[in-house]
Structure 1
Amino acid sequence: MRTRIGLWLARPLASFHLVVTIAFLLTVLGLVMVLSSSSVEQYAASGSAYSLFVQQLVYALLGAVLFYVALRVPIRVWRRLSFPLFAVCLLMLVLILIPGVGTEVQGSTRWFQVAGFSLQPSELMKVALALWGAHLLASRRPGAPLKTILFPLVPMGLLVCLLVVSQPNLSTTIALGIILAALLWFGGLPGKLFGGLALGGVIAAGVLAVTAGYRSSRVQAFFNPGADPQGMNYQARQASFSLADGGVFGRGLGQSRAKWSYLPNAHNDFIFAIIGEELGLIGCAAVVGLFALFVYTGLRIAVRSVDPFLKLLTATATTWILAQAMINIGYVVGLLPVTGLQLPLVSAGGSSLAITLVMFGIIASAARHEPEAIAALRAGRDKRAGKLFRLPVPEPYLPVDPAVARNAAVRKAQAQSRGRSSAPRAATYGGDGRRTAERRRDDGPARGRPRRPDASDTRRRRDPRERRERGQRR
């Protein structure tokens, strides 16, 4: 069995197939559990048990389309669009803080309402920050000073965190901080400096956690789990009861008791508790196993990629999704204070689902850019998937030596300053050294220039034996 798994993982396109399979399984599991966990409250509120499920399904279909688009977009286009996308998201974060522009829900202004759909710019900023940060760090020259890692990435990242926490939205701020930290770590920031920045980030998160009333109550509930069971500790205690009620095999799909208005936000922040109650320890282990397999696949793609941009982007995205999943699971099982971070691809939330699928699509595209995968695709070893999805064959990464590029630019500038074309000589002369017919017409007797001797003239002039033989024949 181990040998078969090893042989399958050794296939060139194994990483691509794993990413697509994991995204599909987590999305389907999320749709099923959103329907199960929200049916009771949705029926009581709107008379239909499927209202939230239909909304989540629409975003899942939209996310599938975006996944496919992200898979087809060339890597060079992602790099070219990274800063414009970051700038647009930054502008949206500023606009949403203007009174009357954003939609306020439960005291937080986080959403735009566009044609009946809600868009959360902070979720889109996760992808934008990862793309732009990876592009910045991958563009650094070898041996560049340390400040090129920190500037302008760190100031702009801190500005983004400040705008998001002003909504207020501490959970997404934590996710953005994780993305920024992952970029700095994989970008080569020295350990001591990274440790200092990480410690400052933890202190800042702690200060923010105790400055607002609802965040302070969550921290107090975590450190005093037995206090106020009907108040600040109610949600955490109900999640623990739900997990304990599931046991090993669970009560069965759709048989949760906590979703009958006992567990607030059962379809969103605490959907992992419903999974534990209905599917038991086995279901929870399956979810954790899928995320563990995703981490293995993401880091495998990062190691195998030869493009520095793909290395940084894949490793950062993998760290972000893993950290968000572990924080969510951690506070559901009581190991962390409640932060409100969603379980990626599983929790209800349209913007989060669609944007996370975009990131999975980019990671899948990076998997197809592995050197062995490119060779296999060019050899036609993935004909079925290629024909079914009409995916283009990825271009191999060609590293550019800065010295070579600089010398080429200097030569081009010198040629332009002399008024000459920078086109290669082969465009002017034929393969045997003779000028093309068009150039010969320009160099004809009308301009008073002698004809350029061709190769046969040169050969006769340099061969005296041939000249003697010609004289004897005459």
Structure 2
Amino acid sequence: MTAATKSAAARRPRKRAAMGLFSPLTAWLTRPLASFHLLLAVCGLLTVFGLVMVLSASSVDSFNEDGSSYTVFVKQVLYVLGGLGLFYMGLRVPVRVIRWLSFPLLCACLLMLALVLTPLGSELNGARSWFYVGGVSFQPVEFAKIAFALWGAHVLVTKRGLLSQYRHLLVPVVPAALLMCALVMLQPDLGSTATLFVVMLALLWFAGAPLRLFLVIVLGVVTGAVGLAVIAPYRMARLTSFFNPGEDPTGQGYQAMQAMYALADGGLFGRGLGQGWSKWQYLPNVHNDFIFAVIGEELGFIGCAVVLMLYGTTAYVGMRIAFRNTDPYIRLVAATLTTWLVGQAVINIGYVVGLLPTTGLPLPLISSGGSSVVTSMIVFGLLANFARHEPEAIAALRSLGPGKVGKLLRLPTPAPYRPPARRRPSRPAPSTRPGAKSSGAPGRQRSTAARSGAQTRARGARSGPGSRAQTRGGHR
């Protein structure tokens, strides 16, 4: 036995042991409703984890402002309860209703994005992007992202037979995206503008747009970003502080430096839940934009790895739902919403660890903030709805019943996807224009006469000289 054969034989038991270790997980993932149950578990874990970290990160600010350590936490719990109601609505609403409502929702969001720039909107941290209604604040741009994803997918799926032409691929999706981005930049809100571009790029990518189109779009985005940075001094200062945060450690680079100190202070296992120092006025917006720094400080690298694993699982389940469905609308919406949700988490974590410029985007389901939490739970509700529309899931629900979760939530049985019937090509109407070549009645008469003349000549050729010779011979 050679050395290679011996090493291969030694590796086989280890492979069998690894397969035996993961075989229960693999078997569970093959179940019809595995995507649905896994998505519910990830959403629940992220929500509970976010509430715990918001309580820990906001306790000092809440006590300094209101005399109670639970003010921000209580508001976050109320937002989560409201988000659960919208999660349930997204889980129950039929897909055809979602498609029908996509355009009215987009129009309503465009109207709110325009109204927020008027005195009806409220300004916070230098951006006029908030509405206050009955003591509750919300950002319309967060809901506009969902509406644009639903409407853009509807348009691209409706025109999927024409997407090889650029004018059908780009219009009206790209003009609508540019209009929304222009309204958001007037607030100004660079982070939300970036996520709107992520939604647009995801729609075009999963619709099958060519790669050269993305190169042109990325080049245009980079050029526009540089131009906006040159125009606004605060954007240029933020960009220069990203490349060298130590140049202005008490100004533009303050948050980035303090976030890095908090992450370094956490080490492998962290200082312990609630024992971090960054929330003691050292790191601004610690319970919102920079909550990942608190996770690294109090829970260490292990806590950060758990968060990354949860978002990685979200990406896996969302793409699994997209590729296991047969409805093209569900496939496009599920892939786009998953890309947006996970992409926003990547942007947030990226600027906390110093890999991206600071944009002020919250960490989905973990950062405090009503609009972010509610819209994230709507996205999870829609994805859970789409998970129940997988063909195997529909077959299991129709044959075996709704199951424990379905009975508890009183969920209806989803209808199977039926592709639209192909239209038979209609016969062209006869043309009565003078000079019509072959479509009108005279043309048909001429072609019929020509065919009969050709047949007569052919018969005459077959029965010509030979037949005449036989006739003469017969007379003889």
Both proteins in one fold, TM over 0.5 = yes
Which of 137, 144, 150 matches 2:156? 137
CA distance in 2, matches of 1:141, 1:37: 47
Query: How far does residue 401 in structure 1 lie from its aligned partner after superposition?
Result: 2.9
Matching residue of 1:56: 76
Tell whether 2:121 aligns with 1:102: yes
State the distance in 2 between where 1:340 and 1:211 align: 20
- 1:111 paired with 2:125, answer no
Identity of aligned residues (%): 55
Contact 1:210–1:219, Cα closer than 8 Å, also in 2: no
In structure 1, the partner of 2:139 is 120
Structure 1: unaligned runs, 5 residues or longer: 408-474
Aligned residues: 406
**Contact 1:37–1:267 (8 Å) recurs in 2:** yes
Change beyond 3 A, Cα 1:143–1:87: closer
Cα distance in 1 between the residues matched to 2:160 and 2:294: 50
Matched residue SS, 1:283: helix
- In the other structure, the counterpart of 1:41 is 61
1:245-304 C-alpha deviation (Å, 9 max, x unpaired) = 111111111001110000111101100000001111000000000000111111111111
- Residues 371 and 396, structure 1, Cα contact 8 Å, conserved in 2: yes
What pairs with 1:374-393 in structure 2 (closer than 5 Å)?
Answer: 374-380=394-400, 382-393=402-413
- Among 286, 291, 298, the alignment partner of 1:266 is 286
Q: Following the alignment from structure 1 to structure 2, what is the Cα–Cα distance between the partners of residues 287 and 312?
A: 26
Q: State the TM-score, normalized to the length of structure 1.
A: 0.84
Q: Do the aligned residues in 2 keep the contact of 1:181 with 1:198 (CA within 8 Å)?
A: no
3-state SS of paired residue (1:402): coil
Structure 1 residues 361-405: Cα deviation after superposition (integer angstroms, max 9, x where no partner): 00111110000000011112542111100000001110013315x
Q: Please report how far the alpha carbon of residue 216 of structure 1 lies from its aligned counterpart in structure 2 after TM superposition.
A: 2.0
The match for 2:473 is: none
Shift, 1:233, TM fit: 1.3
Q: CA RMSD in A?
A: 1.4
Counterpart residue number, 2:439: none
- 1:27-426 mapped onto 2 (5 Å cutoff): 27-98=47-118, 100-144=119-163, 145-380=165-400, 382-403=402-423
Change in 2 beyond 3 A, CA 1:210/1:18: farther
Does the aligned pair in 1 maintain the 2:113–2:141 contact within 8 Å? yes
Match of 1:113, as an amino acid? Y
Q: 1:416-441 CA deviation, whole Å, 9 max, x = no partner?
A: xxxxxxxxxxxxxxxxxxxxxxxxxx
SS in 2 for 1:142: helix
Contact 1:103–1:110 (CA under 8 A) maintained in structure 2: yes
Structure 1: how far apart are the matches of 2:92 and 2:179?
A: 32
Aligned-partner Cα distance in 2 for 1:381–1:146: 45
Q: Distance in 1 between matches of 2:224 and 2:152?
A: 22
How far apart are residue 205 of structure 1 and its match?
2.6
194-203 or 112-121, larger mean C-alpha shift: 194-203
| SS of match in other structure, 1:358 | helix
In structure 2, give the amino acid aligned to 1:117: V
Partner letter of residue 111 of structure 1? W
Instruction: Tell me if the contact between 1:344 and 1:352 (Cα under 8 Å) persists in the aligned partners.
Output: yes
For normalisation by structure 2, the TM-score amounts to: 0.83
Contact 2:402-2:413 within 8 A present in 1 as well: no
Q: Any residues of structure 2 matched to 1:431-442 within 5 Å, and which?
A: none
Aligned to 2:443: none
Structure 2: distance between partners of 1:97 and 1:143? 37
Question: Following the alignment from structure 2 to structure 1, what is the Cα–Cα distance between the partners of residues 46 and 227?
Answer: 34
The residue that corresponds to 2:46 in the other structure is: 26
CA distance in 2, matches of 1:210, 1:333: 25
Report the equivalent of 1:418: none
**Secondary structure of 2:361's aligned partner:** coil
Q: What amino acid is aligned across from residue 189 of structure 2 in structure 1?
A: N
What is the distance in 2 between the residues matched to 1:292 and 1:381? 31
